[in-house]
Amino acid sequence: MQLLLKSIFTCALFVIFVYATAQSLLKVQETEARQAYLNVTSSSSSNLSQDDVHFLSRRLRQATAGEEGDEGAPSQMDDELEQMTKVHAEAPDAEELRECSEGLVLPLWMPQRNISVGDRLVRGFVYFVLLIYLFVGVSIIADRFMAAIEAITSIERAVVVKGPNNTKQVMHVRIWNETVANLTLMALGSSAPEILLSVIEIYAKDFESGDLGPGTIVGSAAYNLFMIIAVCMIWIPAGEVRRIRHLRVFFVTALFSVFAYVWLWLILSVFTPGVILVWEAIVTLLFFPLTVLWAYIAERRLLVYKYMDKNYRVNKRGTVVAGEHDQVEMDAEKGPKQPMVTSARGNDAEAFDEARREYITLLTELRQKYPDADLEQLEMMAQEQVLARSSKSRAFYRIQATRKMVGSGNLMRKIQERAHSDLTEVKAQLHAGDDEEVDDPIRMYFEPGHYTVMENCGEFEVRVVRRGDISTYASVEYETQDGTASAGTDFVGRKGLLSFPPGVDEQRFRIEVIDDDVFEEDECFYIRLFNPSEGVKLAVPMIATVMILDDDHAGIFAFTDSVFEITESVGRFELKVMRYSGARGTVIVPYWTENDTATESKDYEGARGELVFENNESEKFIDLFILEESSYEKDVSFKVHIGEPRLAPDSTHYHDELAAKIKEVEKKPVQDLTELDRILLLSKPRNGELTTAYVRIRESQEFKATVDKLVAKANVSAVLGTSSWKEQFKDALTVIPADESEFDNDDEEEEVPSCFSYVSHFICLFWKVLFAFVPPTDICGGYVTFVVSIFVIGVITAIIGDAASYFGCALNIKDSVTAILFVALGTSIPDTFASMIAAKHDEGADNCIGNVTGSNAVNVFLGIGLAWTIAAVYHSSHGMTFNVEPGTIGFAVALFCGEALIAIMLIMFRRWHKGIGAELGGPKVSKYISAAILVFLWVFYVVICILEAYDVIRV
């Protein structure tokens, strides 16, 4: 379909070129015949003005065709010719009437006299090819300009908003308002050639008016409004529609786009016909900021707009809330959603939360689609899709269209690279503090800081480590301190000095534990470090705790804590069960899990089994497996229980005999128990107080931080910029395939560049390499790129102006026709393909329709207003008036105003018609009929303007 449209555009342009060339060359031949006739009928030379030449040519044609209807026509013509020859003293030869004037930049093709028709055809063809090549060049540099504008308008500032639980959250929001950016810098970026051409032409013609600049602006406006919208209507995929989201802004820009041309007609033909006064030019220029201000007021719903166009509905709580009309319409297109509730957080915070929810949803979908992929891979894929699906500016689609046309591929590869770099950067930031201990002082501490030993262990080893600089000598003293265990009774006290020679990072010493046959509770004592050498710092733990477990009884079993908080990304979690107050014998402890707010098989894997504590074994672990969902704010829990412990049977039947004795003693009354019976009951394994533990699963803080940082970085405008000259030259010299699927190529393999991509690349290689010297957008936030790019656009536009003038001169085509037809099309073709891509992938129609009307208004107010202001002030300062002959431009403006009203009414009819309901797309028949009407309006406009320019029709 896209290839078909390209072919249609090319064929139409070629046919129009051939037709205009043929008509112009016929006019050359007629002029030569007329001059020969003048030379025959007049003995003296006559000096004819250009208007007289057209008038006489038209009268000659009428006489030849017998339009006067009487036999006296030839003699009347002779009388008129005789009268004209008497008025003028001399007449130059026909060649002088068609000489080209010297341009501003491009040298003139000499000679200019005695040029044959074949020579004119060759020159016209060369200038036509040169124009096309210049249009390609200005399109490429304009995209660099748009990238700079995107970098400027994407500048962000930090704001603090309140979170759901009154928690403060730092967010980054754009400084530039979207509407203001679209109507100022974005419009300037897409229309820079037309605007600069109008200004440069004024300077090139010594501050006199010309037809090329204003004609290009008017012709471009007609093409944009009629042809671009027509193409976008039928380009929407079958069964889909696109509606304008910012309808109020569209009304403002549509109003000003029509008013701009009405205003031109008024100052050209009504107020002061043929003269542009200083105040008229300045007012024309001032309408530009007025348009921007009014559109901003409409978009932000300020002044009277806040009382208009409201929709009210009831939320879940039964509260009546107000909603934006445009948002309601967009929600209706997407399907039913949760009702909107009032919020004090502001649009920026809500937009950030919405983007975060979209990221989590994408991550969940990708986890189901790729169950074997790790989290980091899924995060990168999700970030890539968030970037690809995020709302995009006009600059993105303009650059995408140009890259596809010149063999530089699309932006999907850069989106993938950006997603990978974002994730790498975020992970590096999160782990930045892990390895930052290079310059820390020498530290000494126990490792580990807690020891659990059996009473019958004899001796155990204690370890002290040194961290930091180990190239010097260091020392530290240690000593034991009593706790519930006493030195001399439960352990052997010790005190000493630990020396660390250069290169040694740890030292060990041993502590002896005293064993006895008396049952007692678990006891502990401490070992502390003190008096380190110079330059050594004691770190935590500088005191080690030693727990001595009694081994004379089976023990008491319990969890170490009642609540354990873990992250969902932990995977496998070991839940510790302790055995204290005895460790004799083999004991079996059953365990099982139970749902609380967490769900088995969704949040965790259920577990059931038995723990076997061997003789003198004091701790065991229950393996719990947590299922990661990558939820952003997860907070669920489940329970883990341990049952009644029991002695395990052994080969000596000692446990069986002991269990039988215990059961026999349990039958006795309490008052009949002897001391031996009480000791025997204490030796029985039993549960402690903590037999149930709650395992609380929370979201991973690293995952949460990763999501926040990635969502904050999900700015597709960063894809458009460049960070270095190396990157720019690499892109300039690389051929990348233009994938027709744009953003829906997740499951497709990378394609090989087509023959068309290679041809386009080598044709445009000169421009690509030349513009790779433009500074990258990362320098000074894109401002340097902005200034350099607009200067280069101005230079190329000046060459385009010269080439277009030479082209029309060689083929005897008027500047007004060249501007409306050829130059306007050349500058608007990239915008056509940009709008086609936007129409297919945007949720709304703003980038297709809203930007067209806004650009048309800006072109007149800024392009013509600035040029005419400069000229009017210049002439006024020299005591003269700035004269602008209405001519073809005035007629074209009046014709465009009437057709523009028809086009806008058609667009609104489609929006409010129940069977269509949208500006773009809709039922097949209706969209093709609407597109045909718009195409007819453009063709009619071009044909009538050409006929009027050549005096075929008189107005």
DSSP 849-902: IIHHHHHHHHIIIIIIHHHHHHHHHHHHHTT--EE---HHHHHHHHHHHHHHHH
- Over 90: is that where the pLDDT of 639 sits? yes
Q: What tokens appear for 91 in the block?
A: 């007449």
Euclidean distance between CA atoms 570 and 697, whole angstroms: 10
Cis-peptide into 441, omega within 30 deg: no
**pLDDT higher at 750 or 670:** 670
Helices (DSSP H) in 66-171: which residue ranges?
73-87, 117-153
Strand segments, DSSP code E, in 627-774 are: 635-642, 646-647, 686-687, 692-698
Euclidean distance between CA atoms 57 and 136, whole angstroms: 38
Whole-number average pLDDT of the chain: 75
**pLDDT higher at 756 or 435:** 756
Euclidean distance between CA atoms 362 and 384, whole angstroms: 10
- Over 60: is that where the pLDDT of 952 sits? yes
What pLDDT is recorded for position 46?
Answer: 42
C-alpha count within 13 angstroms, C-beta hemisphere, residue 673: 19
What pLDDT is recorded for position 775?
Answer: 92
Q: Rounded to an integer, what is the distance from CA 635 to the centroid of its chain?
A: 32
Mean pLDDT, residues 905-910: 91
Residue recorded with tokens 């957008």: 777
* Alpha-carbon distances, residue 905 vs 97, 561, 911 (angstroms): 46, 73, 10
pLDDT in tens, 130-140: 999 999 999 88
Do residues 912 and 211 lie in contact, with contact meaning Cβ atoms separated by under 8 Å?
A: no
Q: What tokens appear for 436 in the block?
A: 């930052």
* Alpha-carbon distances, residue 779 vs 130, 148, 721, 789 (angstroms): 33, 10, 10, 13
Do residues 390 and 714 lie in contact, with contact meaning Cβ atoms separated by under 8 Å?
A: yes
What pLDDT is recorded for position 413?
Answer: 65
pLDDT in tens, 537-568: 888 888 888 888 766 677 788 898 888 888 77
- DSSP, collapsed to helix, strand or coil, labels residue 698 as strand
For 704, the enclosing helix (H) or strand (E) is helix 701-713
Euclidean distance between CA atoms 864 and 217, whole angstroms: 8
Residue of 863, 922, 663 lying closest to 202 (CA atoms)? 863
Euclidean distance between CA atoms 861 and 853, whole angstroms: 13
Neighbouring residues of 560: CB distance < 8 A, sequence distance ≥ 6? 576, 578, 690
What pLDDT is recorded for position 351?
Answer: 58
Terminal Cα-to-Cα distance of the chain (whole angstroms): 40
- Over 90: is that where the pLDDT of 119 sits? no
- Over 90: is that where the pLDDT of 614 sits? no
What pLDDT is recorded for position 441?
Answer: 74
Mean pLDDT, residues 258-285: 90
Residue of 655, 756, 639 lying closest to 691 (CA atoms)? 639
Neighbouring residues of 607: CB distance < 8 A, sequence distance ≥ 6? 591, 592, 593, 622, 623, 624, 625, 640
| Helix %, strand %, coil % of the chain (to 5) | 55, 15, 30
955 forms bridges with which residues in the sheet? none
Euclidean distance between CA atoms 888 and 945, whole angstroms: 7
Euclidean distance between CA atoms 123 and 125, whole angstroms: 5
- Rg of the Cα atoms in the chain: 43
Burial of 202 (0-12, 13-18, 19+ CB in 10 A): buried
Neighbouring residues of 849: CB distance < 8 A, sequence distance ≥ 6? 229, 232, 244, 250, 907, 919, 920
Percentage of the chain lying above the pLDDT 90 cut: 16
- Over 60: is that where the pLDDT of 213 sits? yes
**pLDDT higher at 212 or 954:** 212
Q: What tokens appear for 423 in the block?
A: 């994730």
Select, from the ranges 512-526, 703-717, 760-774, the one with the highest average predicted confidence (pLDDT). 760-774
Do residues 20 and 816 lie in contact, with contact meaning Cβ atoms separated by under 8 Å?
A: no
Q: What tokens appear for 798 in the block?
A: 């000046």
- Over 70: is that where the pLDDT of 185 sits? yes
For 170, the enclosing helix (H) or strand (E) is strand 168-174
* Alpha-carbon distances, residue 441 vs 447, 468, 521, 534, 537 (angstroms): 18, 6, 41, 11, 7
Mean pLDDT, residues 232-259: 86
What pLDDT is recorded for position 167?
Answer: 61
- Over 70: is that where the pLDDT of 354 sits? no
Residue of 417, 412, 421, 416 lying closest to 736 (CA atoms)? 412
Neighbouring residues of 163: CB distance < 8 A, sequence distance ≥ 6? 169, 345
Reading phi first (left if > 0) and then psi (alpha if -120 to 50, else beta), residue 825 is in alpha
pLDDT band at 478, cuts 50/70/90?
very high
Euclidean distance between CA atoms 640 and 622, whole angstroms: 9
Strand segments, DSSP code E, in 284-418 are: 310-314, 320-324
Euclidean distance between CA atoms 295 and 249, whole angstroms: 5
Do residues 339 and 313 lie in contact, with contact meaning Cβ atoms separated by under 8 Å?
A: yes
| Angle (nearest 5°) at CA 835 between 830 and 841 | 130
Mean pLDDT, residues 420-427: 67
**pLDDT higher at 644 or 94:** 644
C-alpha count within 13 angstroms, C-beta hemisphere, residue 115: 26
Do residues 699 and 633 lie in contact, with contact meaning Cβ atoms separated by under 8 Å?
A: yes
Strands 692-698 and 563-567, sheet pairing: parallel
What pLDDT is recorded for position 61?
Answer: 40
Do residues 565 and 604 lie in contact, with contact meaning Cβ atoms separated by under 8 Å?
A: no
Euclidean distance between CA atoms 662 and 646, whole angstroms: 12
- DSSP, collapsed to helix, strand or coil, labels residue 462 as strand
Do residues 463 and 446 lie in contact, with contact meaning Cβ atoms separated by under 8 Å?
A: yes
What pLDDT is recorded for position 796?
Answer: 93
Torsion of the alpha carbons at 302, 303, 307 and 309, rounded to the nearest 10: -50
- Over 60: is that where the pLDDT of 344 sits? no
Residue of 428, 424, 444 lying closest to 436 (CA atoms)? 428
- Over 50: is that where the pLDDT of 231 sits? yes
What pLDDT is recorded for position 593?
Answer: 94
**pLDDT higher at 752 or 597:** 597
What pLDDT is recorded for position 865?
Answer: 92
